[in-house]
């Protein structure tokens, strides 16, 4: 049986292109004693993978040239020589961009296709859902009546962060990159207001107009100029959860934005970065809560599902063009 594998062909310079990836064909592996053979069903493509394509030390090691890329994957157990798994089980975890692969199952979690659709374990009921949950609840610390602004609001993390904000009683304003996304934020995800940062000339003024009482919590997914504009509207004792800064992931020059210290100082802003894995001890509890909210339709989630193993690199590249609403996922 043949097996397709996607490896890092070269380190991207600026925005990634499909030439940065290469598809190899190899023989599918056999499960040894204690192992399972997995067939990939759904692959998560995520902005943070861009950082791993640089040869730079970070909180996760860089991908190696010529070696398979890995990301969150939902897979089916097609053969089991392990007591912990049975044929037909579904699992999720960090796996390689391969159609088939073996695993000892140690870092994999079984998922229930009856609870929520399998793809949701890569998004709202998985890593990006937990990112929204922990970033907002642990760092944003919402109080009923707070004004919450979310950037990257129509994406996987942002759309869930805003809805958790609504559950916590906040007034929620989303920032996103198209009129369709602005419409979805207000009409599908229940945000109170939404702003298209690509067509708005004076973002600071637009945020001030949408937030007459100022901004108490900023859930920052994008950094850059959008965030500069939000900072101008922060209230005294506001909190900023720094989740990501996708606006700078493809730029090689040093980011020279405004100096924020005077705002942080005079407004007594509490600003903290976080990585979702900081809260792994509480991941199970968060997953349960997210699944409950999804089942009770207190949280709605969107997915942009692209079909075909060979489409994984393009789906990843499309994240930087904003071609996704909600979680970008490849169905294999």
Site of interaction with ligand NAP (CB under 6 A): 46-48, 128, 131, 152, 154-158, 176-178, 181, 221-222, 224, 226, 243-247, 274-276, 319-320, 322, 324, 328
Smallest gap, in angstroms, from Cβ of residue 45 to ligand NAP? 9
Cβ proximity to ligand NAP: between 4 and 221 the closer is: 221
Smallest gap, in angstroms, from Cβ of residue 35 to ligand NAP? 29
Going by the DSSP 8-state scheme, the letter that residue 155 receives in this structure is B
Strand locations in 56-208 (E)? 70-80, 90-96, 100-103, 109-111, 147-151, 171-176, 193-196
First CA to last CA distance, the chain: 16
Q: Under DSSP, is residue 144 helix (H, G, I), strand (E, B) or coil? A: coil
Cβ proximity to ligand NAP: between 309 and 320 the closer is: 320
Smallest gap, in angstroms, from Cβ of residue 175 to ligand NAP? 7
Distance CA 205, CA 212 (A): 11
Strand partners, 249: none
Smallest gap, in angstroms, from Cβ of residue 112 to ligand NAP? 23
C-alpha dist (Å) from residue 14 to 11, 68, 195, 218, 243:
10, 21, 27, 27, 21
Question: Which residue reads 């890995």 in tokens?
Answer: 70
Distance CA 93, CA 95 (A): 6
Cβ proximity to ligand NAP: between 78 and 242 the closer is: 242
Cβ proximity to ligand NAP: between 105 and 326 the closer is: 326
Integer-rounded Cα Rg, in Å, for the chain is: 20
Closest residue to ligand NAP, based on beta-carbon distance: 155
How many other β-carbons are positioned within 10 Å of the β-carbon of residue 187?
10
Smallest gap, in angstroms, from Cβ of residue 270 to ligand NAP? 17
Smallest gap, in angstroms, from Cβ of residue 169 to ligand NAP? 23
Cβ proximity to ligand NAP: between 192 and 303 the closer is: 303
Cβ proximity to ligand NAP: between 328 and 332 the closer is: 328
Smallest gap, in angstroms, from Cβ of residue 153 to ligand NAP? 7
Cβ proximity to ligand NAP: between 152 and 162 the closer is: 152
Cβ proximity to ligand NAP: between 47 and 162 the closer is: 47
Question: Which residue reads 């939000």 in tokens?
Answer: 230
Contact 320, 15 (CB under 8 A): yes
Q: With helix as H, strand as E and coil as C, how does 157-202 read?
A: HHHHHHHHHHHCCCEEEEEECCHHHHHHHHHCCCCCEEEECCCCCC
Question: Which residue reads 């598809």 in tokens?
Answer: 23
CA-based nearest residue to 218, from 194, 240, 191, 248: 240
Smallest gap, in angstroms, from Cβ of residue 279 to ligand NAP? 9
């Amino acid at each position: 049986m043949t097996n397709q594998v996607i490896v890092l062909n070269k380190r991207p310079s600026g925005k990634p292109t499909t030439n940065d990836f290469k598809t190899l064909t190899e023989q599918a592996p056999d499960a040894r004693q204690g192992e399972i053979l997995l067939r990939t069903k759904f692959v998560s493509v995520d902005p943070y993978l861009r950082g791993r394509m640089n040869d730079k030390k970070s909180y996760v090691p860089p991908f190696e040239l010529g070696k398979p890329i890995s990301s969150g994957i939902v897979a089916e157990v097609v053969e089991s020589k392990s007591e912990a798994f049975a044929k037909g089980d579904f699992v999720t975890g960090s796996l390689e961009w391969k159609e088939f692969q073996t695993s000892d199952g140690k870092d994999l979690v079984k998922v229930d296709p009856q609870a929520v659709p399998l793809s949701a374990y890569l998004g709202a009921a998985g890593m990006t859902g937990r990112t929204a949950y922990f970033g907002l609840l642990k760092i944003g610390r919402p109080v009923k009546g707070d004004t919450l602004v979310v950037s990257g609001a129509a994406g996987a993390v942002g759309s869930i962060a805003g809805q958790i904000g609504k559950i916590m009683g906040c007034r929620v304003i989303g920032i996103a990159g198209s009129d369709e996304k602005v419409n979805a934020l207000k009409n599908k995800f229940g945000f109170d207001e939404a702003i298209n940062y690509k067509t708005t000339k004076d973002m600071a003024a637009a945020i001030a107009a949408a937030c007459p009482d100022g901004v108490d919590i900023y859930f920052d997914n994008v950094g850059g100029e959008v965030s500069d504009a939000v900072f101008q509207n922060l209230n005294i004792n506001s909190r900023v959860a720094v989740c990501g800064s996708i606006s700078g992931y493809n730029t090689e020059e040093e980011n020279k934005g405004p100096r924020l210290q005077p705002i942080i100082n005079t407004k007594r802003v509490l600003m903290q970065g976080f990585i979702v894995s900081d809260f792994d001890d509480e991941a199970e509890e968060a997953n349960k809560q997210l699944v409950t909210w999804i089942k009770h339709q207190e949280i709605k989630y969107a997915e942009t599902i692209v079909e075909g193993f060979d489409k994984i690199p393009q789906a990843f590249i499309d994240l930087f063009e904003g071609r996704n609403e909600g979680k970008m996922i490849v169905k294999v």
